[in-house]
Amino acid sequence: MKLNKINRLGFVALVLAVLSSCENSETQTVTSLNNLVWSDDFDNSGAPDINRWVYEIGDGTAQGIPGWGNNELQYYTARPENVKVENGVLKITAIKENYMGAGYTSARILTKGLFQQKYGRFEARIKLPWGKGLWPAFWMLGDDENGSVSWPNIGEIDIMENRGDEPTITHGSIHGPGYSAGNAVTKSYDLNARLDTQFHIYGIEWGPNYINYYVDDVLYNQITPDDLPDGTNWVFNDREFYIILNVAVGGSFAGSPNVETVFPQTMEIDYIRVFN
């Protein structure tokens, strides 16, 4: 316990040193972009705002990636059982049920074609689901130029990913050519506080040749081209990205649910905001 804490403090100190953007060692400058350019506060109950969000439906087969490329177990729908706005929060709910040949349903919504931009500060206030096999995520993919560029060349920025059986740990990652899937550039951050019983703010501040990762008021990582494997390229300076929110069930990252996993499970998003 004590050692962990020391490590964490040491790590924060390291980040501070690397960033050298703080006025003094007492205060950490977490973000610098404050001009709000896009947001959804989820104030209107019902389906997500069609001017902001589109759905991805199915198990990935139609997209040519059954199991969404990760052996995931859920079938995404646009049904209110799986995705709705209620009491000022967006709720994405994973349900254990037989549906269209899958054992679970859930939802995945994205801003593709409706809101995309290069660089900026992207953050959301989220309360996570919990339990083995749950895999909630707040992430971004690069524009694929009408399908002419494919993953991982388009780039992927994972602002928050969590394994439901690690209720205090968030993961921030980037994927690109030569550093994707199991070889992504990742930092895991243990808040030593639950992510499933409290809302936390997960964000990145992204600019030329850097992506800063923060949770609440703690900057916990910066990724730059220097962090990439030798011989690989930074793909985050040349295209717009769109936002994705989803709750996956099972798959290579989180593993399958077990008998103790409680369903249904809901990810609640209080707001999502983008600043320049």
Partner 1 sequence: MKSLEKIKNQTILTLLLALVFLGCERDISDDAVLASFASTAEIFTDSPVGMGSDFYFPYRGSKATAWSVDDSEGYESSSSMRFDVPNATDPEGTYAGAIFRVEGAGRDLTNYDALTFWIKASQGVVIGELGFGEDFINNEYITTLSNVSVGTNWQKVIIPIPDASKLIQERGLFRYSAGTQATNGLGYTFWIDELKFEKLGTIAQPRPSILNGNDVSVNTFIGVNIDITDLNQTFNLGNGRDVTIAAAPKYFTFSSSNPSVASVNDLGVVEILSAGTAVVSATLGGEDVKGSLNINSIGSFSLPPTPTRNASDVISIFSDYYTNTTVDFYNGYWQPYQTTESADFSVNGDNFLNYTNFNFVGIQFSNPTIDITSLPNLHFNMYIPNGVPSNFDFLVTVVDFGPDGVNGGTDDTRHQLFVRKTPSIVADSWMTIEFSLNGLTNKSNVGILIFENINFSSLTNFYLDNIYFYK
Q: Among positive and negative, which fits the CA dihedral 18, 22, 26, 30?
A: negative
* Backbone angles phi and psi of 182, in degrees to 5: -65, -10
Subset of residues 181 to 200 that bind partner 1, contact rule: CB under 8 A = 192-194, 196-197
Give the residue carrying structure tokens 């990762």. 213
Q: Is 18 helix (H, G, I), strand (E, B) or coil?
A: helix
Instruction: Tell me the closest approach of the beta carbon of residue 165 to partner 1, in angstroms.
Output: 4
Q: Which is nearer to partner 1, 108 or 127 (CB)?
A: 127
**Which stretch in 4-12, 30-38, 100-108, 162-170 sits in contact with partner 1 by CB under 8 A?**
162-170
Q: Around Cβ 9, how many Cβ atoms within 10 Å? A: 10
Subset of residues 39 to 78 that bind partner 1, contact rule: CB under 8 A = none
Q: Does residue 262 bind partner 1 (CB under 8 A)? A: yes
**Which stretch in 18-26, 59-67, 139-147, 165-173 sits in contact with partner 1 by CB under 8 A?**
165-173
**Which stretch in 12-20, 36-44, 84-92, 130-138 sits in contact with partner 1 by CB under 8 A?**
130-138
Is residue 13 within a helix (H) or strand (E), and if so which, with residue range?
Answer: helix 2-19
Q: Does residue 167 bind partner 1 (CB under 8 A)? A: yes
Give Cα separations from 148 to 143, 242, 272 (angstroms).
10, 16, 29
**Which stretch in 56-64, 81-89, 138-146, 158-166 sits in contact with partner 1 by CB under 8 A?**
158-166
Closest CA to 159 of 276, 94, 73, 246: 246
The whole-angstrom separation of Cα 195 and Cα 166 is 9
Contact 100, 59 (CB under 8 A): yes
Subset of residues 108 to 127 that bind partner 1, contact rule: CB under 8 A = none
Q: Does residue 6 bind partner 1 (CB under 8 A)? A: no
Annotated catalytic residue 205? no
Structure tokens at 206: 């992204």
Q: Single out the residue of 7, 27, 168, 252 in contact with partner 1 (rule: CB under 8 A).
A: 168
The whole-angstrom separation of Cα 138 and Cα 269 is 10
Size of the site for partner 1 (CB under 8 A): 16
Choose, from 23, 26, 145, 156, the residue flagged as catalytic. Answer: 156
Instruction: Tell me the closest approach of the beta carbon of residue 182 to partner 1, in angstroms.
Output: 21
Q: Which is nearer to partner 1, 32 or 256 (CB)?
A: 256
Annotated catalytic residue 156? yes
Closest CA to 50 of 92, 94, 83, 93: 83
Choose, from 72, 123, 161, 268, the residue flagged as catalytic. Answer: 161
Structure tokens at 64: 């040519």
Sites of contact with partner 1 (CB under 8 A): 130-132, 163-168, 192-194, 196-197, 260, 262
**So which residues are the catalytic ones?**
156, 161
